[in-house]
Structures are given as C-alpha cells and as structure tokens.
Structure 1
C-alpha cells in the first residue's frame, strides 16, 4: 500500500504490503496517480503483485471533490481510494487493511518543517507504516550560509536605524531596545532578488538531516563550526533545503538560491523560497578565517539559530526577550518602514502642517499606526487622542504606555476605544466634534492583503461623518490608484492553467482554482512584492486610473486610463497600488509602488499575455497600448479590473 500527502491539511501518502497511498491537496491527487501508475510496472521492487492499493488522504472537502474529478477524468477513480481525513486520523483495520510499505509525501514549506512534517512522520511510523518502509523523498537536508546585508539589517533592527534619525520620535527608546521586533522565526524570502545587496561571509554548511524512513525526534540540536570566508558583519543566516528523493542519491531537488551551484537550484518558485533568520542588533562582527559556532535547534514545526563566538556548552537556543517582558512583534517590512527616514519625514511634515493650521481638541487614529499615535501625542500635548488599534488592540496600548515618558507625553491624553466606529455616537467622543482623523493607513495582520483593502479607512471615515467638525482635517486626503503594465514571466507561469502534468489531465481544475492561459476565464488578482517575483520588467509609464476622495463619504468609483507601452516585451499583467496623498496641497505623497520594497502591490495577471510594441509599429502582432478600466464597490471592498487593446 502507498500513502501520499502534500501540505498541513492532509499529510502523507503511504503504501502497505498490498499497496496504499494518501495525499492532501491537488498535489495529493497527482502523487496518488503517479504512485498508482508506478505500481502497475513489473519492475517496481516494492510491489509484489498488482493488487496493491493507493489511498489518498485529504481533510479539506472541496479539495476532495476536485481530486475525485481529476481521478475520473484520468480513469483512475477505481485505482485510488480517497479518504476525507488527515493521515493522522487514519486507522489500520478501520480505514486501511494493513500497514503501508511505501510513503510518498510532500508536506514541506520554505522552512521544511512548518507544515507539520515531523508530527506527520511520527504518526505515520507509529501507526501506518511497516518497519523500514520505502519513502519518497528519501531524506531532506537543511543548509545555511552567513551573510552581511544592509537591506536585511533594516528589516529587523529598528533601534539602531532609528538612532540615525533625529526627528524627536522614539519608537524604540534607549533601555527598551527590544520593545518592538520581528517574530523570532525564519522568514521566507526570494533572496536571489537581493543578491547584489548580500555579501557572503561563509561557504554553505549542513545544519540538519531528516531521514523520512525513520521516526524523527520532536527536538534536535546541533552546533556547526563555521569558518569565515570574508570579513564583515553577520546580519542574517540564509537557509534552504535539499531533497534526496531516492535512496541511491541520484535524484535531488533544492530550494537553494541561484548562487549555489546545485542540481535543481535557481528556478523561481512561489511556494518555496529561501528563509532568513535575523541576527539581533547590528549583527556579529566576523574576520576572515575566523571560526564561529552556529547553534541550531529544531522543534516539531520550526528551526532556530544563535551565533556563538566560542564552543557552546549547550546548543540550546535562547528565545527569551531580554530587556523587558513585553515585545510588540511586527512584520520585517513594517519594522523597515518605521526606520525609513524619508517615510518618517513625509508623515511628520504632513502632521506638522495640519497642526499648524489648528491644534485639534479631538484627534482619532483610525488604524494601527503606533507612529501616528506617538507623533500626535508628542506634537500636540493639548489634544485628546482616541486610538482604535483594530488589530493591535491592548498590545498597542501597552506599547504606548511603555514609551510615553521617552516621547514626552502622558497617557492621560490618550484613550483606547474598543467600540466599532460604525456604532459611535456623540457620547463616545464626549460630545466633542472630531477635528483630525488620520491613518497611514496600516492595519495589523493585513500583510497578505491587496492594497485597496486598506480603503477600510474610507469606511471608517464615513462612519464618523456626522461626528466630524465642519473643517475637520482628514489624512490621507485621498488615494490615487496607480497602474503599470509589466512583464512577469515567472509569476504568470506559476499561475498558468493546467493541462497535462506527468501525463495526467488536470484541465478540470482550472475553472475552480482560477488560472492564466488559453483555458482560463480572466486572470487572478493577487498581492505580491513585485521585486520578489523573479523576472520582471516595466513596459509602460505609470498612470493614475482612479482617485479615492476621503473628504467625502465612501461611494462607488469608476476609473479609466490608457496605458501606453514604452518598452517592447511580453505583458503578463497589470501591477496596481495606491499612492496616499497626505495633505490638501498634494505636496506630500507616500507611494506604495514597486520601487518601494516594503509594500505589496496588487497584480492582475492577464489570461493571455500581450505583445507590447510602439504606436505605428508594422508588426501587427504587437499592441501599442491598453485601455484599463476599474470599478470599486464599497459594499464588499472589491476592485474590478478590466482591460482591452486600445
């Protein structure tokens, strides 16, 4: 029997003596079909007869239904049994007849362990597999490399970056160096995109090895002696993994960056990236040929690191936050934004301009911006400030209390309101009119959302309409929806419609999953850091397609713009973002476009790529421009994006 699995919801595929397989997503179905086909071959060493069974485990019912469609299309519905269960819910003698002798699995994330590889394998070896089973993959090896990078440093060390900025605002005051930080974890990232901003300080080194044929331990530690190949400041550990798929070591797959010369390395892949572990503060200085110890520890679902200049007595990694019990965890990009001198200056100037016109008696911070809260409290001592912190909640208030003295304000002037703004009355504002309503806008926990989902601010401004003073200041004043046509070959290919995969017809999934290509009905719109999208090229000038006016209550919006190609190439999609106009004079604009690497943009992929050319070109296959039309529906916050050749 063969078990197969891919992902946290369903776990692995297995194969007991007669033959069993279990999978967990669309990949589960593919692995199951590949296993069933392999079992029909006479030279399959693990299958002694053709009566072996393949069992696929999938806990997510919609995916089970889709998988069964794929099996029927490929005439394999009778060859594979699909269980609507996780593999750790499967019982021998109830769901399957006997233990499996083959395990086929793909339950890996960028870190390797994050989708539950270890507990899944533990249960499989304890309850579902024979002793010494055949496994695909055979084993996985985690590698690492020490690097210096100013960019990576800015993503986590707000204290030292802020020390170089003299604007009077102290998000990280002295003595509270770890009051704000990134979560202690490995952060997935396409490191090839910043190759020119990385200095390698060591050769790659092996960290952990996981043998899929053996029951893994829940905890493991190691200390790796690393010799420096150059001098510098170790800002991060970049890690990746390599799969050895067969026991002979002839088939490998690696998530290594392109600068590592390994078989299978270097292909852009959206679902598997490298991982970055940030070294605290400014990093650890290292001289050429100096040796240092990297202490690594893994649990059931994660791997952590610590650098030690000398041989450690224990390889355990200390995860305790020193210098205070409280730490506000933010994303690396948010840390970098708060430490960006240009961004801070833009916001500071906008607030100062508002306050110079009139000191507000009542100011509302509508989003999760701790920077705005500190800024207004610091600059306008006489104002009463109401903070909503819809995502941060009590964590935001706890943070403000910790840094109030260092920023010269009292918490007496700040009020935290839990009530939804849609239900506010004059009693909630103490019968005062709101003079200043501001946001960045930034909503905690919205890192994976499309840019226009930050128009939540417009909804909240609308809910407060009756409570605003006649001359209330709204910041930002408006939002400009920008668009640029781009070549996005790698990203488009990662979302293209499916046809034949390993000889199996998968076209039936396109309508359900959404895809690009000839068989697709419109391309998807997805949030991405464009700079991490592999091969990218701008093909047009940036144009404004729609405007959101926050001085008025929210309403449906429509926009239309002509996007003219300025470069030849293949256009795979439209990249959209919002530039926030902070002041009424339109002099201060905060852009969230592709050249600003700390924000995600929205990508509307085209069903069929367009050959971009110039006006008057003799090549009839080329298009000189596109007409882009957008419409915003405030009832659901959705943005409809349409395009056609002009």
Structure 2
C-alpha cells in the first residue's frame, strides 16, 4: 500500500489516503478512451480500408510489406495489417499497461509470430540484428491524433520515423490530413472567454480592461460542436482549408504560419474560430474519415459519434468588427504541438505575431470556460439579485464564501452595509482586487485570502456576520456535491456568525434521474470484438480498473454535450441544510424509483439544486424534460455526475415498463467529506 496526498474537494483540506500500489495504473486504464475508440466503427472501418489499400500498393511493387504501427494501443491496426496481407509488423506503444494488453490481444488472435509489440517511445527505437527492428518499414500506420490533430506530438514522431525508421519509399495510413476553420460571431462561445458587463442595481459591473485585452488561455477548447445549435453563432466566413499534412512525404515539426485570405460573408464581430479536421486514408482521397460537426451532414445522414476526437473552439486574441465583402486574413500559427489563430488585414499578415496566446490577466488561469459562462449568465445572476434583496438590509454584515464570485458586488449594489469575501488563493485575491478597483468598490468590499477556519473577529472588524452567502462554487470541485465545501466553511465560521445569521443558499438537494444515453454509454460499454478481432482482454482490464474501488463512483460530464432521454422522474435523494452545522453522524438515504419510459437504462445522472430563499431556487442539473420525447435539457455551465451501470440493462418494454425500478443506497460521510452510492436496477 502507498499513501497519496490529495486535496479533498469537499473539505478543502489535504488528505493522505492509503491506496493500493496499482492505484495510478487503474486510474489510467479506467479514464482511457480505448473503449470509445474501439466503438468508433467509422474510424475502424476507414483505417481497415486504408491499410488494405496500402498493403496492396506495396505488394504490387513486388516488395514485402513491413509495417511500423506507432501508438498501437490494443494492437488493432497491426492485426488489420496482418489480415490485409502484411508480412511483419512492429507495434510500438509507450504506455506499459497497454503494451502488455496488446501482447495478450495479439497472441489471442494468433498473430504473435508476426507482430512484435515494443514498449518504447518511437523515437527510442533502434535498428539492426540486436535492435528493436530488424529492418526499416515501408508502411507507416499511426493513430497519434487528438482533437487538435497535432496535440499528442504527432509531427515530431512522424519526422523521426520518416528519417530513421522508414525505407526511402513508404506508404502512410492515413495518407494526409486537412485542417478546416470557420470564423464566426457567437455571444454564447465568446462568453466562455471574456467576462462581460453585468447589470446590477447600482449600475453595470465592468470587467477590468486588462481582462478584456487579454488574449486568453493557450489551450484549445474541445467540444462536441454537433450539440451547439447553429443559431448560436453567425458564420462570417466560408469553411476554409487552413493547412494540409501529407504523411507520405517528409514532415517537419518546425513552427510555421499558414495564411488564408477570404472575403467576409456578413457584418459582425469576429470572435471565434471553429475548427476540425479530416484524414484521407489513401492517395486518391476515396477513403475519408471526417471530424466535421453533425450539422454539416445532409439531413437523415448518420453522424459518426466519437469522444476521443471532437471539434475545436479557438478564441481570437481580441474581438474585431468586420464588414460584409471585406477581404481579411486568417493566420494559423502552428508549432509541433498546437495551433492558434489571429485575424488581420492582408497587408499586415507578415507582421502578425506567431506567439501562442498566454493569459496576462489571471482570469483565464483561475476560471475555466464553464465558469466564464456561468458568471456571464445574466438570468442566473438575476435570481441571486432577487434573493439578496430579500435577505439584505442597510445594516447587513455580509460575508461571501465562493471562489471568484460576483455576489459580493451584487450584495453591495442592493445595499449591504459591509461586505467581505473569502478567496482561496493569492491569484484569486488579485483577480478580485482588480474587479473591485475597476468598479470603484475597493473601499466598500474587503477581500480576505484565508481559509474559513482561520478567519478571526479582527478580520471582520469585530462584527458578527449577519448574512453568509455563496453560489456555491469552488475551483477544486469536480462533481456536484463537492461544492458542499460551502457547508464545511459555514461550520468553520460558526463563531463568526450572529445568532440570527441568514445563510444563502438555505440548502442543497441532491437529485437523481435514470437515463438512456444516445452515445455516451459507449465509453463504458464492453467491445468483445472489433472488426472481427477479439479485444475482450481490454474489456477485462477496463472492468477491473472500474471495479478497483469498493463501489462504483460517479464521473463528471457536461451533459449538454451528450444527449439523453429521461427514463424516470427526477427524484430527490437527500437535502443538506446549510442553516445547521455539518453533522457528525453519517447521512443515509435509500429507496427506489420507478421508470416511466421504456428504453435501455445506461445509468443515473446526479446533480444539485440550491434553495436560495424559501421561494427562489437554481439548478445545476436538469432544466427541462420534453413531455413527448423525454429528451433532457441540462444546465450548460456545470458538469453533472454520471453513474454508469456495470452492464447495460434493458427493462421490460411498454406497456409493462412501469414495473421496472432502480433501488438506491446513499451514504454521506461527513468526517471524510465522501459521498458513497450504489444503484441497482430491478
């Protein structure tokens, strides 16, 4: 056993947890995307077609087909090559658990004598009788791509392999990749990147100027663009070809800028670049695998679903007002691992900076994209304003406990006499100071960078808190109940609270819903076989890793990106009363919920609803269920918890589906800040 130090997202403390020495191994396997990739029939079929065509071209030249498969994973592509007629394969996998699995899978399928699995990075391979490879290869097969195409270091790996491991003439599968982009205006997407002005009772809360001019975070925002409604953006350009990479030619990983001139389709504000790529598996481009979003497919055309490759949202360094018919230049700056975009006049293209964006204001380091969206949600903030008006008076002594919240400014705007706010880090404190200074509130709102248990009466100028407020939101939170950190903070602050102190929110309730996912279930579904090859060993590894803990855990997922159907009514499991201190005894709940629709029940979704006042509440989960279809609408700025059943379950079809139910057992352990759950379909 080993001890691992981890921040407890509920209590906020550093806990030393005793774990099995194989804990990290199981975590890597459980969180891998191998099941998702193995279920991607479109990807697998296109690779198989491309590999067969490449082997055929080599054989037609009278040569032996020697394959180098970089990033082999399960060994699937190497086995495809052997089945297509290749003579020998070198299958390279740097992640040891996967290399071990590939050895077993290759052996189980009868290819152990013709596939050599090598547990190394491809740049470490050696040639020769005593080396990893007896001879150079003439077919290069890779699956080194991510949502951004090159983010997993594909270009350096290709460059090294082509110079050191391939014959003078080689075939590549895939043969080429093409990156596409479209410039758009989108209030919804832009609100993920900038803090927008917000209306309060005393005026407008303005973002700091340095936040508005900041180029933002350097990392790409990957998202299931198929779930973005086309009405959420205005296209300012056609779909542009930005650059191509031909994998059958010598590749350079050196930085380069790609310049694309185009005419604007409409007036607007250029804010965002949407991007995706496709790969041609053969030189003639007859075998194509595309990552384009669903709304670009013809009506009724099946849209391949994949979560390992999504689409990209890039935020331009600054918003640019543009005019229809104007000629403008989109520049993609590409290095060996990432791409960033800039928009400029054609005459200024040569002077465009090739530096990747880097946050200068602190906000893009402190807040993620969903948090920006939540802070910019005016309708949500209006509910907080309404609730604050009900509880605050000119004599209120108000303390806010939430990370990077606008509630202190709203509390001041509705008339609170004194407002304090706790921030968990020095960067968060600096960010809040900038906000207050911009809005001339530094003299009326006081920022404390302290943990709740360290706050003294002297910090509060010897006044008791009459109103404790929070959203609640904490940057360490991953799952909905992690924001119970507010409850622990309230408990730690008890000595600083007035006897009649009002707490907002009053309480939080944990809800659950049984669902059928359209596609998300694939990431946890066994594969058994793939393209005729037995990969069940991989299923066993994933299942063992998922069952590694005593009971299953929920996973955080932004469900607005993953359509699902409600099979039950939403059910309240337990309520946490913030007016009282955290109890010392376990809180338990058990019962059952009936299914009200037929379908395949893939699992349960959990979320929190907050009761701000007796008559005002907000939800971080289910917003609406269609009466006709059962389709769910989810709150887009928080992740919901998803508990997958270990095996898919198909309840009785209508009209007897009402006899089906799910029993639940839930235990909240206050001393550990741990929520344990078990759901059993009946």
State the TM bucket, normalised to the shorter chain.
0.7 to 0.9
Q: Deviation string for 1:215-263 (max 9, x for gaps)?
A: 2232121221223455554442211101011233221111011233499
Find out whether 1:31 has 2:77 as its counterpart.
yes
Paired residues of 1:374 and 1:400 also in contact (CA < 8 A):
no
Q: Across the two proteins, how many residue pairs are aligned to each other?
A: 602
Cα gap change, 1:381 to 1:349, in 2 (>3 Å): closer
Cα offset, 1:414, TM superposition: 3.2
**Who is 2:241 aligned against?**
206
Q: Deviation string for 1:607-637 (max 9, x for gaps)?
A: 22434766xx3x4x67455444433344262
Paired residues of 1:478 and 1:548 also in contact (CA < 8 A):
yes
Cα offset, 1:599, TM superposition: 1.7
Cα gap change, 1:275 to 1:481, in 2 (>3 Å): same
Paired residues of 1:103 and 1:136 also in contact (CA < 8 A):
yes
* Structure 1: segments with no counterpart, 5+ residues: 1-5, 45-49
**Who is 2:472 aligned against?**
441
Find out whether 1:343 has 2:388 as its counterpart.
no
Cα gap change, 1:610 to 1:181, in 2 (>3 Å): farther
**Who is 2:573 aligned against?**
545
Task: Write the mapping of 1:473-512 to structure 2, written as runs, cut at 5 A.
Answer: 473-512=502-541
Paired residues of 1:56 and 1:80 also in contact (CA < 8 A):
no
**Who is 2:601 aligned against?**
571
Paired residues of 1:378 and 1:407 also in contact (CA < 8 A):
no
Q: Deviation string for 1:484-524 (max 9, x for gaps)?
A: 2333121123431111112221222224324999xxx9987
**Who is 1:410 aligned against?**
442
Cα offset, 1:577, TM superposition: 0.8
Cα gap change, 1:459 to 1:53, in 2 (>3 Å): same
What is the SS of the residue equivalent to 1:158?
coil
| CA distance in 2: counterparts of 1:131 and 1:437, whole angstroms | 71
| CA distance in 2: counterparts of 1:181 and 1:269, whole angstroms | 30
Alignment counterpart, residue 147 of structure 1, candidates 170, 175, 184:
184
Cα gap change, 1:591 to 1:154, in 2 (>3 Å): same
| CA distance in 2: counterparts of 1:628 and 1:249, whole angstroms | 52
Find out whether 1:84 has 2:119 as its counterpart.
yes
Find out whether 1:215 has 2:251 as its counterpart.
yes
| CA distance in 2: counterparts of 1:349 and 1:301, whole angstroms | 47
Task: Write the mapping of 1:380-391 to structure 2, written as runs, cut at 5 A.
Answer: 383=418, 385=420, 387-389=422-424
Q: CA RMSD in A?
A: 4.0
**Who is 2:229 aligned against?**
195
**Who is 1:597 aligned against?**
636
Cα gap change, 1:400 to 1:77, in 2 (>3 Å): same
| CA distance in 2: counterparts of 1:434 and 1:166, whole angstroms | 23
Cα offset, 1:638, TM superposition: 3.7
Q: Answer with 393-402 or 196-205: which moved more.
A: 196-205
Paired residues of 2:156 and 2:336 also in contact (CA < 8 A):
yes
| CA distance in 2: counterparts of 1:7 and 1:546, whole angstroms | 33
Task: Write the mapping of 1:213-362 to structure 2, written as runs, cut at 5 A.
Answer: 213=248, 214-229=250-265, 232-261=268-297, 266-279=303-316, 284-287=321-324, 289-314=325-350, 316-317=352-353, 325-329=360-364, 330-356=367-393, 359-360=396-397
Find out whether 1:111 has 2:145 as its counterpart.
no
Paired residues of 1:23 and 1:57 also in contact (CA < 8 A):
yes
**Who is 2:9 aligned against?**
none
| CA distance in 1: counterparts of 2:183 and 2:514, whole angstroms | 37
Cα offset, 1:427, TM superposition: 8.8
Cα offset, 1:73, TM superposition: 3.0
Paired residues of 1:321 and 1:327 also in contact (CA < 8 A):
no
| CA distance in 2: counterparts of 1:216 and 1:544, whole angstroms | 57
Cα offset, 1:35, TM superposition: 3.4
Cα offset, 1:358, TM superposition: 5.7
Paired residues of 1:181 and 1:335 also in contact (CA < 8 A):
no
Paired residues of 2:453 and 2:489 also in contact (CA < 8 A):
yes
What is the SS of the residue equivalent to 1:631?
strand
Q: Deviation string for 1:554-603 (max 9, x for gaps)?
A: 553323455444444443332221112223x3534344334322222122
Q: Deviation string for 1:363-385 (max 9, x for gaps)?
A: 352x4223234445666776473
Q: What's the TM-score once normalised by structure 2's chain length? A: 0.76
Alignment counterpart, residue 70 of structure 1, candidates 105, 113, 124:
105
Cα gap change, 1:612 to 1:208, in 2 (>3 Å): farther
| CA distance in 2: counterparts of 1:416 and 1:179, whole angstroms | 27
Paired residues of 1:157 and 1:335 also in contact (CA < 8 A):
yes
| CA distance in 2: counterparts of 1:386 and 1:230, whole angstroms | 44
Q: Deviation string for 1:186-224 (max 9, x for gaps)?
A: 321222212342444443221111122322232121221
Cα gap change, 1:379 to 1:124, in 2 (>3 Å): farther
Q: Deviation string for 1:95-152 (max 9, x for gaps)?
A: 4344433321111111111111122223323443333432211111101223343432
Paired residues of 2:552 and 2:678 also in contact (CA < 8 A):
no
Cα gap change, 1:200 to 1:425, in 2 (>3 Å): closer
Q: Answer with 269-278 or 342-351: which moved more.
A: 342-351
Find out whether 1:401 has 2:433 as its counterpart.
yes
Cα offset, 1:336, TM superposition: 1.9
What is the SS of the residue equivalent to 1:512?
helix
Q: What's the TM-score once normalised by structure 1's chain length? A: 0.80
What is the SS of the residue equivalent to 1:337?
helix
Find out whether 1:123 has 2:160 as its counterpart.
yes
Alignment counterpart, residue 454 of structure 1, candidates 483, 490, 499:
483
Cα gap change, 1:292 to 1:129, in 2 (>3 Å): same
What is the SS of the residue equivalent to 1:178?
helix
Paired residues of 1:140 and 1:244 also in contact (CA < 8 A):
yes
Cα gap change, 1:262 to 1:566, in 2 (>3 Å): closer
**Who is 1:557 aligned against?**
587
Paired residues of 1:157 and 1:282 also in contact (CA < 8 A):
no
Q: Deviation string for 1:146-175 (max 9, x for gaps)?
A: 33434324333433xx25x24447654474
* Structure 2: segments with no counterpart, 5+ residues: 1-31, 35-50, 56-62, 623-632
Paired residues of 2:242 and 2:332 also in contact (CA < 8 A):
yes
Paired residues of 1:296 and 1:317 also in contact (CA < 8 A):
no
Q: Deviation string for 1:406-459 (max 9, x for gaps)?
A: 3333379635435x556778898898766554432222265xx22223333334
**Who is 2:4 aligned against?**
none
What is the SS of the residue equivalent to 2:257?
strand
What is the SS of the residue equivalent to 1:335?
helix
